[in-house]
């Protein structure tokens, strides 16, 4: 994995929100929403040095743009989004470690990650967000805030789980936020909205108007119902 610093942001002790594409595209939807809403500025790029696949465009191939951006605004670093995750464990570990290194560089005390939570429960357009944390003490704080914690033991794979392990190893507090979804192959805008509202509650900051995400959810549901 290659890293390129394009700017030196003037920030100290920010919150870090780091998430990548996952089932239902939830991680990417939320990251892209925050970046667009808060007009964050790019300051660092992570790029895969070699392509791990090619795109067949119907008779000719294109190379994928496997890169991920760090962006910032007042008191906040946002990492990830895009449409893929690293294809090898080595690249994934390198990326997680770089997020930790950047968090330490700017004295970040907290990392949030987020993604989808696959469930068979009928959601009726009202998915819940479950959280898991890097410590029992932090989980107890979530319970006092009446925020639901993940209901059972499970393995969280990919960046949106592993980054919490890296945070814990490095003494940084972290919370994973996972929005319920039924159909992992379909963009899940309602799960993203649920996560955004929970994130606003925990960070005490407004992240933006989610009405456009609501409209996109309605459009998806209309097409899916047909």
Question: Could you report the per-residue pLDDT of 112-159, keeping only the tens digit for each?
Answer: 999 988 888 887 788 999 999 999 999 999 999 999 998 877 777 788
Rounded to an integer, the average pLDDT of 57-77 is: 90
Predicted confidence at residue 226, as pLDDT, reads 56
Sheet holding 76-81, edge to edge: 2-5, 41-47, 67-73, 76-81, 15-20, 110-118, 173-181, 129-133
Rounded to an integer, the average pLDDT of 50-54 is: 78
If one compares 180 and 64, the residue with the highest pLDDT of the two is 180
**pLDDT category of residue 225 using cuts at 50, 70 and 90:** low
Domains of the chain: 12-225 (3.40.50.10900)
The answer to whether 24 and 61 are in contact (CB under 8 A) is no
**pLDDT category of residue 73 using cuts at 50, 70 and 90:** very high
- Beta bridge partners, 175, equal 112, 133
Q: Which of 25, 57, 69, 49 is nearest to 160 (CA)?
A: 25
What's the N-to-C CA distance of the chain in angstroms? 43
Is the pLDDT assigned to residue 31 strictly greater than 70? yes
Structure tokens at 75: 């008191």
């Amino acid at each position: 994995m290659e890293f390129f610093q394009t700017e030196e942001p003037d920030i100290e002790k920010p919150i870090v929100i780091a998430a990548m594409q996952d089932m239902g595209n939830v991680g990417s939807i939320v990251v892209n929403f925050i970046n667009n809403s808060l007009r964050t500025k790019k300051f660092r790029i992570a790029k895969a040095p070699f392509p791990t696949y090619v795109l067949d465009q119907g008779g000719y191939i294109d190379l994928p743009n496997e890169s991920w951006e760090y962006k910032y605004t007042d008191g906040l670093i946002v990492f990830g989004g895009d449409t893929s995750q690293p294809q090898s464990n080595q690249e994934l570990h390198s990326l997680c470690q770089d997020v930790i290194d950047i968090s330490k560089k700017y004295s970040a005390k907290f990392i949030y990650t987020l993604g989808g939570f696959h469930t068979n429960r009928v959601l009726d357009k009202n998915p819940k967000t479950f959280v898991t944390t890097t410590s029992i003490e932090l989980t107890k704080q979530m319970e006092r805030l009446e925020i639901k914690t993940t209901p059972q033991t499970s393995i969280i794979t990919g960046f949106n789980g592993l980054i919490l392990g890296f945070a814990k190893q490095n003494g940084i507090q972290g919370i994973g936020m996972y929005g319920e979804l039924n159909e992992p192959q379909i963009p899940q805008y309602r799960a993203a909205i649920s996560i955004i509202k929970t994130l606003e509650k925990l960070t005490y900051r407004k992240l933006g108007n989610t009405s456009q995400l609501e409209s996109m959810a309605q459009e998806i549901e209309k097409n899916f119902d047909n």
